[in-house]
Amino acid sequence: MAAAAGEVRLIGSSSSRFVLRPRVALNLKGVEYEFLQEKFGEKSELLLRSNPVYKKIPVLLHHDKPVCESMIIVEYVDGTWANSAQAILPADPYERALHRFWAVYIDDKWFPSMFGIAKAETEEAKAESAEQAWAGLKLLEEAFVKLSKGKDFFGGDTIGYVDIALGSHLGWAKVTEQMTGLKLLDEEKTPLLAVWAERFCAHEAVKEVMPETAKLMEYAKMRLGK
């Protein structure tokens, strides 16, 4: 279902893992949208007006009505274009709760441990963060088995809610690997997730909007001062 010109706009940055989430959701649903790129280190008047509370990207504008926070936008897209393509969240209330739980775990627990590897100032701190990240990936591997039910994605036959939540971090996972020399998605430690990551990045809804690793590396060096 293609939206009318100007009906759907997305304020964001092409390097943001959080902005990647609604972009993938919109692509999955076949929704046409205008992407409004924010300049690094600046906040446009439109952004500040659309998200006066957090003043952060992403912001989805649908008929000029703002929707904020990445996974909330994903749910909004899923509900608004419910008749377009497969649902991103499962219909069963318990299954929906499980998918939301793991999405929160990814942001609140797993990503901070991965980011901690890159910003660690000592080898000891780096090793500690790496062990936490690997332990988290092992839990996510187990979650993949339960949620995917033997299919290709956490969402089953195609990309779903948890796929978007975790997949949005894959670009930064590659950056972390290059900066530290550590292998996060190890084929021996988490073979299912390693294959899933390749499948996710190759998906039609993802490959055109997944940030290039080289560009993310430049941004990471600016952010970390390295």
- Consecutive 10-residue averages of pLDDT for the chain (226 residues): 74 96 98 95 96 98 98 98 95 98 97 90 92 97 98 98 98 91 93 98 97 85 64
CATH number of 8-80: 3.40.30.10
pLDDT of residue 87: 97
The secondary structure of the chain in percent helix, strand, coil, rounded to multiples of 5, reads 55, 10, 35
pLDDT of residue 219: 79
Encoded tokens for 164: 């978007």
pLDDT of residue 107: 97
Encoded tokens for 190: 């988490």
Bin 77: left if φ > 0, else alpha if -120 < ψ < 50, else beta.
alpha
CATH number 2.60.40.180 given to 93-225? no
pLDDT of residue 30: 96
Domain boundaries, the chain: 8-80, 93-225
Rounded Cα distance between 169 and 114, Å, is: 10
DSSP state of 153: B
